[in-house]
């Protein structure tokens, strides 16, 4: 396993503890911003308890649940309360450590006693094991781990302050921008910047750290460059991708455009650094996590009075990246269809699974019909027309010698399901695509005598023959 993959997986674990709780972070940020802005004692009373107790305990529960389901979440929460009590700083790092660790310890204990509990004593052993092990870890955390983690948190905070005070924060773009196309953005954004930014909120009321990874400017600059100077599918796809990137906040949409011409990392770094420099000069920040990194989320979480300044920083990052990307895109020939298709595949390989935005590039990706073994026939209720259509298509598959192909009927609301192809009525196609994004969709008007059935069967047979 490569270092990149290991870091990716580590980042995924960190983000899995933070992302499910982003709503709580946003709630805390809004209460903090409004409470400070209007100087309301009732709203200000939320700040410290939520920061010191609610948010770390939610992270700990998510981390424990990730390792050992609900039992892991419970013991992770119990263990983390120890480091919270034993420290004077907010225990985000402590929660990220003790949540999964305590759940892992409980899991090992359960494996050790598996099959050794007398019948009828399972419930009492399961409950008391969580209580006893959790209490022991909590005490250890309070006495020893809490002060140690507090010191570590202080080192991180001092490092951030050093970068801010010496105007070195723009240099973080050297790490952040190349990391994003390699799908290390969650490791940086949710694992490092979110906890550190939240600590800054307590003293400053806002944090520029929330803008470093979520800034859509650099990625938008690359997409705009392809929109005006790209060729073929790279040019046509960039239009829709830019909308998804800027307003949807799904930044991975621009990753294939960078991967097919990796030298574009340089404009991204420069643009990201200039954007961050503008943020620091203008002294702007967000009051909470902007996730996804949509311009809408960023505006909603902007500190009061910072909206226009933040837009200026994003615009600067976009413009500089755009200008610097133009000659590099022209030199590469504008990006042909094959290059973008290959880059999209590379993106999926880097991520370790099919990306949620890969459907944007379906027009340039080759669908492998040779692997089709399950076909879903979907309609509004999953009975009636879909049942009849599935029967007709199944018979045609059998007659064509495709004995391993299974056709089943299902309601649209019960999608997604395990299938490579979805057949549906033409008027229902948009609904199917909304819930089953990874499947190849076929729209028919006549569910009994649709010519698309024969076309699909022929494609499957032809693809299998070509593979032989």
Continuous H helices in 120-254: 122-140, 146-165, 173-179, 185-188, 194-204, 209-212, 217-229, 232-243
**Half-sphere exposure of residue 339: CA atoms within 13 angstroms, side-chain side:** 20
Rounded Cα gap, residues 268 and 173, in angstroms: 8
Spatial distance between the Cα atoms of 88 and 52, rounded to a whole number of angstroms? 9
- Measured CA to CA, the distance from residue 18 to residue 437 in angstroms comes to 26
Task: Let me know: does 326 contact 247? Beta carbons within 8 Å.
Answer: no
In the sheet with 406-411, reading across from the earlier edge strand, the strands are 406-411, 374-379, 421-425, 440-444
Assign residue 249 a region (left: φ > 0; alpha: ψ between -120 and 50; beta: otherwise): left
CA distance 56 to 59: 5
The dihedrals phi and psi of 442, each to the nearest 5 degrees, come to -125, 130
Residue 379 annotated to the active site? yes
HSE (side-chain half, CA atoms, 13 Å) at 337:
8
List beta partners, residue 376: 408, 422
The rounded distance, in Å, linking the Cα atoms of 6 and 339 is: 27
- Return the number of other C-beta atoms located less than 10 Å from residue 23's C-beta: 13
Closest among 67, 301, 285, 270 to 196, alpha carbons compared: 285
- Select which of 274, 318, 379, 419 is catalytic: 379
Query: Shortest CA distance to 301 belongs to which of 31, 7, 11?
Result: 31
Radius of gyration for the alpha carbons in the chain, expressed in angstroms and rounded:
26
Whole-angstrom distance, CA of residue 77 vs CA of residue 413: 35
Residues 6+ apart with CB under 8 A from 17: 59, 62, 63, 66, 95, 96, 99, 100, 190
Give me the residues paired with residue 410 across strands: 378
Q: 382's torsion region: left (phi>0), alpha (psi -120 to 50) or beta?
A: left
Distance CA 365, CA 56 (A): 43
Helix (H) or strand (E) holding 443: strand 440-444
Distance separating alpha carbons of residues 159 and 229, to the nearest angstrom: 41
Residues 342, 365 contacting (CB under 8 angstroms): no
Q: Which residues are catalytic?
A: 379
């Amino acid at each position: 396993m490569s270092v990149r993959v290991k870091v990716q997986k580590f980042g995924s674990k960190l983000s899995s503890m933070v992302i499910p709780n982003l709503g709580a972070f946003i709630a805390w940020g809004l209460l903090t911003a409004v409470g400070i802005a209007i100087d309301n004692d009732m709203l200000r009373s939320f700040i410290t308890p939520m920061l010191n107790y609610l948010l770390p305990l939610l992270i700990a529960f998510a981390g424990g649940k990730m390792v050992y389901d609900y039992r892991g979440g419970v013991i992770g929460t119990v263990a983390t309360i120890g480091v919270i009590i034993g420290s004077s700083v907010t225990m985000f790092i402590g929660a990220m450590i003790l949540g999964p660790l305590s759940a892992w310890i409980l899991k090992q204990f359960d494996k050790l006693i598996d099959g050794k509990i007398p019948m009828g004593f399972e419930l009492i052993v399961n409950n008391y094991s969580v209580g006893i092990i959790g209490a022991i870890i909590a005490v250890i955390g309070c006495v020893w781990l809490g002060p140690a983690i507090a010191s570590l948190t202080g080192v991180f905070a001092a490092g951030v302050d050093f970068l801010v005070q010496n105007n070195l924060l723009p240099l973080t773009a050297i790490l952040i921008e190349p990391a994003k196309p390699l799908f290390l953005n969650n490791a940086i954004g949710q694992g490092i910047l979110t906890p550190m930014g939240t600590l800054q909120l307590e003293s400053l009321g806002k944090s520029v750290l929330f803008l470093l990874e979520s800034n859509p400017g650099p990625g938008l600059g690359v997409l705009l460059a392809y929109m005006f100077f790209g060729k073929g599918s790279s040019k046509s796809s960039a239009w829709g991708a830019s909308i998804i990137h800027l307003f949807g906040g799904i930044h991975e949409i621009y990753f294939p455009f960078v991967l097919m011409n990796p030298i574009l990392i340089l404009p991204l770094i420069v643009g990201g650094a200039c954007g961050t420099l503008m943020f620091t000069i203008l002294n702007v920040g967000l009051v909470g996590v902007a996730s996804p990194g949509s311009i809408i989320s960023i505006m909603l979480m902007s500190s009061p009075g910072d909206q226009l300044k933040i837009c200026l920083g994003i615009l600067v990052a976009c413009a500089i990246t755009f200008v610097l990307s133009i000659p590099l895109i022209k030199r590469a020939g504008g990006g042909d269809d094959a290059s973008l298709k290959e880059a999209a595949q590379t993106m999926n390989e880097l991520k370790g699974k099919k990306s949620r935005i890969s459907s944007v590039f379906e027009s340039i990706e080759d669908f492998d019909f040779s692997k089709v073994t399950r076909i879903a026939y979907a309609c509004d209720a999953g009975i009636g027309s879909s049942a009849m259509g599935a029967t007709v298509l199944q018979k045609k598959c059998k007659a064509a010698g495709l004995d391993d192909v299974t056709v089943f009927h299902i309601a649209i609301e019960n999608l997604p399901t395990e299938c490579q192809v979805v057949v549906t009525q033409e008027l229902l196609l948009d609904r199917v695509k909304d819930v089953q994004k990874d499947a190849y969709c076929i729209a028919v008007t006549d569910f009994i005598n649709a010519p698309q059935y024969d076309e699909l069967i022929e494609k499957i047979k032809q693809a299998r023959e070509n593979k032989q």
